[in-house]
Amino acid sequence: MMCLMREESPEVNYMLMTSWLRGSNYFALKTTPAFKPLQAFTNRAASANGYFETGYKVLDPATFQ
């Protein structure tokens, strides 16, 4: 799943939220032509020091070692 959202505020703020079965899939996507339209957003935000990227993993406490 991939969703591009814009915050309702006077400042222009976007958030790209994705959900992946494996974390490495997102990084593989970033090297494909499918990601090219979103690359403009990330490049512009990074050049203005307004880019933040993070990842989270959901763990099942019953199987976590």
- Which H or E run includes 18? strand 14-18
40 has which bridge partners? none
Cα torsion for 6, 10, 13, 18, to the nearest 10°?
-30
What's the rounded Cα separation, in Å, for the pair 44 and 19? 23
- The string of pLDDT tens digits covering residues 20-59 is 888 788 788 888 898 888 888 788 888 888 777 887 878 8
Model pTM greater than 0.75? no
